[in-house]
Structure 1
Amino acid sequence: MSQIIRRIGVSPRARGSVGGGNCPDIFELADGNFAVIGTDITDKLDGELPSDASRADYERIVVITRETLVRAKADIPEA
């Protein structure tokens, strides 16, 4: 299993989340992949995936706020 190397973007607290109930986050992993904490909306969007998209049984569709991704943009590597 991979280890978290760093947060991508700013912390949830810096985005105004202090209660712990709305804390989407993005992390870079040691293997070069990314881990995302978001709201699981698989049941809602699974049937709306385009015909050229699919997910495995072990994969989930998660949503993060626009602010989370926008504020992470500067930390996302180009390659």
Structure 2
Amino acid sequence: MTHIIRRIGASPRERGSISGANCPDIFELADGNFAVIGTDVTDTLDSKLPNDASRADHERIVSITRETLVRAKADIPDA
């Protein structure tokens, strides 16, 4: 199993979370993939996916705030 290398973008506290512990987050993993903590919106969006998109039974659709992704942009590698 892989492990977390680093956070991508600003921490929840830097984005205004008072507790800093319960907000969307993005992490780079040792295997080169990314892990996202977000709100599970699978039940809401699964039937609304475009025709050329699908998800496996073990996959979930998660939502993160725009600010979380925008503030992570500078930390996302180009390749």
Residue 40 of structure 2 corresponds to: 40
Shift, 1:24, TM fit? 0.2
CA distance in 1, matches of 2:21, 2:29: 24
Amino acid at match of 2:56: A
| Correspondence for 1:65 | 65
The ranges of structure 1 where at least 4 consecutive aligned residues each deviate by more than 6 angstroms after the TM superposition are none
The aligned residue for residue 74 of structure 1 is: 74
Q: Which moved more, 1:34-43 or 1:14-23?
A: 14-23
Structure 1 Cα separation of the partners of residues 51 and 58 of structure 2:
19
Question: How far apart are the structure 2 equivalents of 1:52 and 1:74?
Answer: 29
The aligned counterpart of 1:54 is 54
Q: Percent identity?
A: 81
Q: CA deviation at 1:22?
A: 4.6
Residue-pair matches, total: 79
CA distance in 2, matches of 1:25, 1:35: 8
Provide the aligned C-alpha RMSD in A.
1.2
State the TM-score, normalizing by the size of structure 2: 0.95
Segments of structure 2 that go 5 or more residues without pairing to the other structure are none
Which residues of structure 1 form unaligned runs of 5+? none
Q: Report how far residue 68 of structure 1 moved.
A: 0.2
